A and B are shown apart, each in its own frame.
Chain A
């Protein structure tokens, strides 16, 4: 998985609790992304980062926040988890060069269940 580690791999939590998912990369890539994958929807972008402390919203950002204090780590936080946030979450990275920035590599995913 191209030097990308997502943690935890599985998590079960209760509605209303805060949850933080971590994505760690060893590739020193500039761009990092969080997606969620749901049946019938494919992959939808939640947030992305184009550098340390530089982040922006994707198409389904409501209820999520992100932080990137170091190049290698991109955190996704659900401030107050809801059942609609039950999903599989994927982190992806891409580099900075003309070709590299156009190629995304994905982590193995985090399966989150909100009860």
Chain B
């Protein structure tokens, strides 16, 4: 996971927006992903973006991709307690994804 960097923790208040950031190193990455992991569960694909896109929106989720800076972000609007989880960023070069270490999102009332 050294090629994909994420901050380890993010704490937000319920109802606020959350922004989770990720940097990657390989400019040839074709797909970039966000996965969510709830306690005791596997990883669930939240969304992904193809490298020729700058933005993707899906309900409360907005993904922004800055290819020049190799920066990916996930914005969660109106964050709820059910959004508390670990969020993993991943990049795909050949056909194997490389994962970051995950960001623990803590949502407090």
Contact with B along A36-48 (1 / 0, CB 8 A): 0000111111001
Assess whether A106 is in contact with B43, with CB atoms less than 8 Å apart. yes
List residues of chain B with CB within 8 A of the CB of A31. Answer: 95
Assess whether A107 is in contact with B42, with CB atoms less than 8 Å apart. yes
For A, the interface residue count at a CB cutoff of 8 angstroms equals 23
The 3 closest A-B pairs by CB, nearest first: A106-B42, A42-B101, A42-B1
* A→B interface (CB under 8 Å): 1, 4, 31, 33, 40-45, 48, 58, 90, 92, 101-109
18 contacts between A and B (CB under 8 A): A31-B95, A33-B96, A41-B1, A41-B101, A42-B88, A42-B101, A42-B102, A43-B88, A44-B99, A48-B96, A90-B43, A92-B43, A102-B31, A104-B45, A105-B45, A106-B44, A109-B40, A109-B42
